[in-house]
Copies of this chain bind each other. A is one copy, B any other.
């Protein structure tokens, strides 16, 4: 049996990893997955320093899944507001279904 859920994916500079995961801990996210990668794009450039330059970056991809879609969106918005005004990154939301929803 599966239950509707919301996934949130955060693509950020790797230097922000501990700040973002600390915030996820504080907001009550029940878990998250962190994968390291690389990336490129003006959306990964610090806006104050170099507004439109395409650069390569060390990035982290942080992902979490929640049954409560509204809560997931609130957390995603808070991350966008707290981190991605000064630093760049992207956050996207998708619909999913989870199995073993009793774990959440």
Contacts and interface: CB of A to CB of B under 8 A. Distances in A.
Nearest to A45: B31
A92 B7 contact: yes
A61 B31 CA distance: 14
Contacts of A90: 31, 65, 98-100, 103
B37 A35 contact: yes
A35 B32 contact: no
B33 A11 contact: yes
Interface in A45-104: 54, 59, 61, 65, 73, 76-77, 80, 84, 88, 90-100, 103-104
A2 B33 contact: no
B25 A31 contact: no
